[in-house]
Amino acid sequence: AAFVIRSDRVFKFLDPPAAFPNPFVDRTAVAFKTTGGPIRSAKLGVYTVTGRKLRELHEQGLSSNVQHHIEWDGRDQGGLPVANGTYLLRVFLETEGGSISETLPIVKAR
């Protein structure tokens, strides 16, 4: 009997990233899981709906095929709480083999 072992090295999201809770009051997180090699760099950018960047969070050295969370505390780069409203969270991941990104709408409500 013979069998073939196949290794999938394609870098992609296993499921689309999801933000929870959404809507949120004071903090939220983006969950994601990827295939392929280790994630060299993970960034979570927080933007207004007009495209102005409010904050960027960084993670490094993440494994693939593992569920990850990047948390946002609802504050801008200066540490001030953002107003109620709709924002865009952009997840950007890089490996040696390439990069992927996804943008998610999120709502802050008190």
**Does the N-terminal peptide bond of residue 23 adopt cis geometry, omega within 30 degrees of 0?**
yes
> Is residue 16 a contact partner of residue 103, using CB atoms and an 8 Å limit?
no
What is the rounded average pLDDT for all residues in the chain? 90
More confident residue, 21 or 36: 21
Reported as a pLDDT band with limits 50, 70 and 90, residue 3 is low
pLDDT value at residue 52: 97
User: What secondary structure does DSSP assign to 8-61, as a single string?
Assistant: -----BSS--EEESSSBSS-EEEEE-B-SS-EEEEEEEEEETT--EEEEEEEEE
Q: CA separation (Å) from 77 to 41, 74, 106?
A: 19, 10, 18
Q: Confidence band (pLDDT; 50, 70, 90) for 84?
A: very high
| Range 43-58 average pLDDT | 97
* pLDDT for the residue 96: 81
Backbone angles phi, psi at 75, to 5 degrees: -115, 155
Angle at the Cα of 17 (from 66 to 29), degrees rounded to 5?
85
Rounded-to-integer distance, Cα 36 and Cα 93, Å: 12
